[in-house]
């Protein structure tokens, strides 16, 4: 089980295990199958040791949907083992990153953080018209699945989330994230620095 889960995963996070004091974790650059094996092992080790808490520091533009679902499954595995997964967004939680944020036990947004929800997309699609139709249906089904799971943690119904993301990118900042229930609370930049988190400047990211 451990080897299987460790191979499946990836997202743009820093993984920090908290004991008496914060410890520097792992920096991962995207949501792909290539980059999170070390982080996956850390999560599994936290469960096996019976750690009370593990923290994921997000600055994620998103990435591969299969890796996203695999990492979400690992997070649930760790949470069910009794280890609380806390997620701190100190930069961006976009696309797959936003989905994974909603799978966390506790969701924290640092001042200046930004968020993005949108429908599932693919970089390339080819084949016969029937193949394209199948791909489009699969994308619609996956989008609905994602929206249902995300809205389950939010303060807006899935119908509203789907309306805001239909054929467009739904960008929002940490203030709106708190209002719609995409995060549980806001952390100031001063508080973030105490944990070794480099928080964005107030003017970052640029105006949407």
51-65 residue pLDDT tens: 999 888 888 888 888
The whole-number pLDDT of residue 129 equals: 76
Say yes or no to pLDDT of 36 above 50. yes
Could you tell me where the DSSP H helices lie in the chain?
A: 2-7, 37-49, 65-80, 96-102, 129-151, 158-165, 174-180, 189-194
Q: What average pLDDT score do residues 70-78 get? A: 90
Q: Report residue 35's pLDDT band, with 50, 70 and 90 as the boundaries.
A: low
Say yes or no to pLDDT of 193 above 60. yes
Q: What is the mean pLDDT of the chain?
A: 80
88 vs 186: CA distance, rounded Å: 9
The whole-number pLDDT of residue 30 equals: 66
Segment 119-151, tens digit of pLDDT: 987 766 666 777 778 878 888 999 999 999 999
More confident residue, 25 or 83: 83
How far does Cα 198 stand from its chain's mean position? Answer: 18
Catalytic pick among 118, 121, 144, 166: 118
Q: Are 102 and 149 in contact (CB under 8 A)?
A: yes
**Total-model pTM:** 0.83
Q: Is residue 32 flagged as an active site residue?
A: no
Catalytic pick among 10, 60, 95, 113: 95
Cα dist from 47 to 75, 84, 88, 92, 135, whole Å: 10, 9, 19, 26, 37
Q: Is residue 95 flagged as an active site residue?
A: yes
Q: 3-class SS at 101?
A: helix
The whole-number pLDDT of residue 201 equals: 59
């Amino acid at each position: 089980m451990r080897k299987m889960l460790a191979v499946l995963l990836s997202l743009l996070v820093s993984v920090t295990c908290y004991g008496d004091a914060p410890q520097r974790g792992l920096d991962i650059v995207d949501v792909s199958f290539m980059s999170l094996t070390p982080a996956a092992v850390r999560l599994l080790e936290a469960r096996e040791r019976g750690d009370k808490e593990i923290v994921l520091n997000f600055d994620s533009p998103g990435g591969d949907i299969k890796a996203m679902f695999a990492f979400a499954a690992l997070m649930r595995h760790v949470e069910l083992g009794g280890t609380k997964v806390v997620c701190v967004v100190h930069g961006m939680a976009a696309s797959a990153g936003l989905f994974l944020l909603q799978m966390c036990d506790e969701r924290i947004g640092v001042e200046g953080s930004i968020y993005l929800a949108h429908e599932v997309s693919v970089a390339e699609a080819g084949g016969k018209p029937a193949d394209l139709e199948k791909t489009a249906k699969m994308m619609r089904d996956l989008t609905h699945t994602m929206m249902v799971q995300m809205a389950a943690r939010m303060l807006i119904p899935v119908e509203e989330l789907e309306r805001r993301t239909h054929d467009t990118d739904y960008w929002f900042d940490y203030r709106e994230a708190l209002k719609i229930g995409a995060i549980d609370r806001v952390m100031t930049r001063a508080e973030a620095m105490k944990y070794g988190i480099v928080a964005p400047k107030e003017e970052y990211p640029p105006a949407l």
